[in-house]
A and B are shown apart, each in its own frame.
Chain A
Amino acid sequence: MTPLFDRLQDQPADAIIGLMRAYAADPRPSKIDLGVGVFKTPEGLTPIPRAISAAERRVMDAQTTKTYTDLAGDITFRRSMSDLVLGVDYGEAPAIATVGGTGAVTLALDLIRGAVPTATIWVPTPTWPNHLAIIRHRGLPLRPYRYAENGVLDLDGMQADLSEMKEGDAIILHGCCHNPTGIDPTLDDWHAIATLIATRGATPVIDLAYQGFGTDLDTDAAATRLIARTCPNTLIAASCSKNFGLYRERAGALIATCHDTSAHDRIQGTLTALNRLTYSFPPDHGARLVSTVLTDPDLRADWIAELSDMRSTINDLRSALADALRLATNSNRFDAIATQKGMFSRLGLKLDDIATLREHHGIYMVGDSRINIAGLTHDTIPTCAAAIAKTIR
């Protein structure tokens, strides 16, 4: 007899978490962490946004009970998230509070598996590695589609691949600030992509983890809104980790849009049941902070201002890094970093080069050469650029 735990297999080390450990253990004071996707100030801190702190004090003072909330999550949170993502003019959409954006993605996949057990899930190449892992864990068939190559969007390849989608398939899309490339389609590109998805009868699953980190809250949601208008059914996994600085609180929402509004009750019932089946009630604390910020005009304005500051910090670092790399490498191969969106860019380095940067220069990045732009500072950019230039020569 083989005891249960003896049957378990070793899990592949999570690349990013392993990198965080190696970074922590590195004694060099000049080390630079470009790994995990967390916003950092020039001082290397990940602050709690002012509005979130204020909301937290307010909730603490006002909250009199910790009893269960709605199975679907607090209604104010769901409405305000739906408004944030779809725009106030959209009207109501079925939604649930989830355990962060990842929780929303997993429940979206569970919904698809329940409705179409044979559905293939189409995933961009490259994508956030956890997308692949959680799709495989659910035993769903997975097909990669071409997304970006050599630092540019491969729209032709993408359309060629997606023309093979079957009715009932689902496709993972990054709503903005594509992770790991930072390359987003234009709205015209999105229009063509959404039309193709609708024509094939597939369902878009939009992972919206960085709303507000690209251009602004509405512009970053424009692709999501366009897809929701074009495709009859759309699932949107919205994360509050980055834009509200709530990483550890696990606040997120799964929102469903459906052109046939008479189906809303059935969809809402299904979403709520998914929460119930998975963990009964979704966490409430982070969600309540978000809805407090979104519904209070002063807190909301302050949050938008602070989010805009975070975005400027990242975009300034982007320009500075692109300039420094152009100077250090005498080539324009890194110019696109300046115009890519969100926290990440991919440098397109080889594994050897990434190892050299880590061992000789104390610069830590993930194995696909994704860098977290916010891990840089204006002080570290020149040394970082010089190290990269030296390494790739």
Chain B
Amino acid sequence: MSTDDPKTLVSTQWLADHLQNPDLRVLDASWYMPDSGRNPRAEYDAAHIPGARFFDIDDISDHRSDLPHMAPPVEKFMSRMRAMGVGDGHQVVVYDGAGLFSAARVWWMFRLMGKFDVAVLDGGFPKWQAEGRPIEDLPPVVRDRHMTVQRQNQMIKDVTQVAAASKLLDYEIIDARAPARFKGEVEEPRPGLRSGHIPNSKNVPFGTLLNEDGTMKSEADLRAVFDAAGVDLGKPAITSCGSGVTAAIINLALERLGRDNHALYDGSWSEWGMYDDLKVAKG
């Protein structure tokens, strides 16, 4: 069973116990792969945890970039959060409709913005629903709340920094994509991208960090997964995936293990796979 920690992961029971807390904010951060056929906004409109706001990962991003859902500029994050009534002094709980898929990305984004009172709901909406807990289809009543933001630049890496780490081996680069994509055995879902992985990166598919029901594995099991992948947990880490969403699940797992020196490569394979002048490893 998970240990409730309002800075990483909380159980459905913890959320149920705290749902009436006036300084609690719940966010539905559902986002699915374009080919999944699911519409996260429509699903939210139909059913969500009482009081939850919908956090649109595609909208709350840097629209000046050509890459998908890059981290937003601080001003944009602040103004969107203020409009959603999320601000200073709030404990935030994020969930998604897949169990754990995109919620960790928003957990990471809050931390990037210097807001550390944020946790992922363990097991997400499926577990909440399966336990027969209350849901509603009403939009929340939102009041503006001021938010002060301090961007934590050490938590995000760009291609230059990842390219350097790939050569210097001073970071563990951990890739959350499925093994077939990591090995370069299948085409990338996004057209025009090369197949393979960043040289010297390790593969920890995000699914291996989760139990069957979408909850996160115990610390001992997480440790075993990283060990099996050859990840040196003593080293600082950079996480990566297809577009920077599921990579954050690795960051969450590392944080659960008490590691605090981990960053996310925001461009991820959408960027690395695009440039012919960057080396690609296969197998």
Contact = CB atoms under 8 A, between A and B. Distances in A.
Interface string B235-275: 00000000000000000000000000000001100010001
B64 A323 contact: yes
Given A331-B159, A390-B275, 20 more contacts: A323-B64, A326-B64, A327-B64, A327-B65, A327-B66, A329-B158, A329-B160, A330-B159, A330-B266, A330-B267, A330-B271, A331-B158, A331-B160, A331-B266, A331-B267, A333-B158, A333-B160, A393-B163, A393-B275, A393-B277
A330 B65 contact: yes
Interface string B64-108: 111100100100000000000000000000000000000000000
21 contacts: A323-B64, A326-B64, A326-B65, A327-B64, A327-B65, A327-B66, A329-B158, A329-B159, A329-B160, A330-B65, A330-B66, A330-B159, A330-B271, A331-B159, A331-B160, A332-B73, A333-B160, A390-B275, A393-B160, A393-B163, A393-B275
B278 interface: yes
Nearest to A330: B267
Contacts of B267: 330-331
A193 B61 CA distance: 38
Interface of B: 64-67, 70, 73, 158-160, 163, 266-267, 271, 275, 277-278
Nearest to A332: B73
A392 B164 CA distance: 9
Could you tell me the dominant secondary structure of chain B's interface residues?
A: loop
Given A326-B64, A327-B64, A390 B277 contact: yes
B121 to A, nearest CB: 30
A330 B277 contact: no
Contacts of B163: 393
Nearest to A326: B64
A323 B64 CA distance: 8
Contacts of B70: 330
A330 B267 CA distance: 7
Contacts of B73: 332
Closest 4 CB pairs of A and B: A331-B158, A392-B160, A330-B267, A393-B163
A192 B266 CA distance: 38
A390 B274 CA distance: 12
Nearest to B74: A332
Contacts of A333: 158, 160
Nearest to B67: A330
Nearest to B271: A330
Interface string A373-393: 000000000000000001011
Interface string A255-277: 00000000000000000000000
A331 B62 CA distance: 10
B64 A393 contact: no
A89 B111 CA distance: 50
B74 to A, nearest CB: 9
A323 B73 CA distance: 13
A331 B277 CA distance: 18
Q: B66, B67, B159 — which one has the most chain A CB atoms within 10 A of its CB?
A: B159
Nearest to B162: A393
A387 to B, nearest CB: 12
Interface string A315-335: 000000001001101111100
Nearest to A349: B160
A363 to B, nearest CB: 17
B103 to A, nearest CB: 24
Contacts of B159: 329-331, 393
